[in-house]
Amino acid sequence: MMSVCIIGAGTAGLCCARHSIANGFETTVFELSDRIGGTWVYNEATGVVNGIDVHSSMYKNLRTNLPKEVMGFPDFEIGENKASYVRSDEICDFLNQYADHFDLKKHIKFNSYVIRVLQRKTKWQVLFKDLATNKIEFQYFDKVLVANGHYHTPNYSKIPNMESFKGQFLHSHDFRSREVFEGKSVLVIGAGPSGMDLSNIISRSADRVTISHHLTDIGQHIFFENVQQKPDVRELDEKGAFFVDGSYQEFDTVFFCTGYKYAFPFLTVDSGIYVEDNYVQELYKQCINIRNPSMALVGLPFYVCAAQMMDIQARFIMSYYSRSNELPSTEDMLKDTRDRMGKLWAEGLRKRHGHMLGPKQVDYFTDLSQTAGVKNIKPVMTKLHNESSKCFNENLLHFREDNFAILDDETFVKLN
């Protein structure tokens, strides 16, 4: 029987396990924590605990910024709930229901820290530490699916003269509750979804919030009255920031909402995987390791219906591992990837946005479906994702009051 190792028991790992087991493979999931849910599990701790970085980026009272209607799996939807935008603990409950429905938990090794994945002839040796006993063990597998998420290793933007600032630096990864900003003046760096959302959240405690970014299409109406926008920071000094427009403000805290780095600390240099400017290479269809196709990485693309995407990726990968399909040659896989990405680079896409899909996710799903002959994701998912993203950008203060219903594979309605 073919043996499959899955690293991580979050949304991606659980989905991979479900499809690996369905294909009759002997499946083992290694999970760092004592429960399933990955990035959705709230952990009060930050920084390093027992020599291991805290994985979770979840903060108190988080509600999703996508409607639950697009957050379920194709074969297991999120249950009845009047609200479309649900709490993080409700997503954890849903993932537990999914794991119970497909009887996945007996395949999971909890409190298992994967140290190294090494290629040994035709097998993968997985070296891991049992955090309960501190024992280091290893097992051999035919296939490895990496599903460790990409919201765990903070990315800090470099600001000239940072070292002179005497206030506090904080990354959104280590943010847990707004009370830490009580009465403070805060400089938020970055206007992605988390930067915009968190600016409003912390403004309920902070005295003053300034969000610094270089976007041109963000209206002031989407922020509370004590949130102001500024262009990029030119440099910091002891007490505050000089902006590129020549202005200066003092701050107590610089709050980085600058995203995350893809990181696979357990992979060796000869694994065939490397990351350059936050673009993971070299992958066939953004998931199969071209140099060592018995390894795949699930869940890398972002601005997507994540669970839907992970499901079609898992089915795509399993169609090759089950030998229903035969992979192209190394040369053909490299050509496919380089041709596709070459067009995007020529259009001006930056390497660090190589895994960003957004509205293009429908093309990605169709490509996977047609290439491997697996069932496509319903078009309504991308349509509702696009609508939700539009509402987020236009009505940041109130978009979570919207409720949706899916009518059929093509159509959704807004209920209010």
pLDDT digits (tens, 9 = 90+) for 150-182: 999 999 999 999 999 999 999 999 999 999 999
Q: pTM of the prediction? A: 0.95
pLDDT at 251: 98
pLDDT at 53: 87
How far apart are the two ends of the chain, measured CA to CA in Å? 52
pLDDT at residue 7 above 90? Answer: yes
pLDDT at 54: 85
pLDDT digits (tens, 9 = 90+) for 107-130: 999 999 999 999 998 999 999 999
User: pLDDT tier at 50 (50, 70, 90 boundaries)?
Assistant: confident
Lowest mean pLDDT: which of 40-49, 70-79, 89-98, 320-329? 40-49
Q: Give the C-alpha separation, 340 to 347, whole Å.
A: 11
pLDDT digits (tens, 9 = 90+) for 353-380: 999 999 999 999 999 999 999 999 999 9
pLDDT at 340: 95
Q: Is the peptide bond before 238 cis (omega within 30 degrees of 0)?
A: no
pLDDT digits (tens, 9 = 90+) for 281-331: 999 999 999 999 999 999 999 999 999 999 999 999 999 999 999 999 999
Question: All domains of the chain, ordered by start, with CATH?
Answer: 3-153+260-381 (3.50.50.60), 162-256 (3.50.50.60), 383-414 (no CATH)
Of 298, 338, 339, the closest CA to residue 316 belongs to: 298
Contacts of 22 (CB under 8 A, 6+ apart): 318
- DSSP state, residue 267: B
Average per-residue pLDDT for the chain: 96
Strand-pairing partners, residue 212, are 189, 230
Q: Give the C-alpha separation, 228 to 225, whole Å.
A: 8
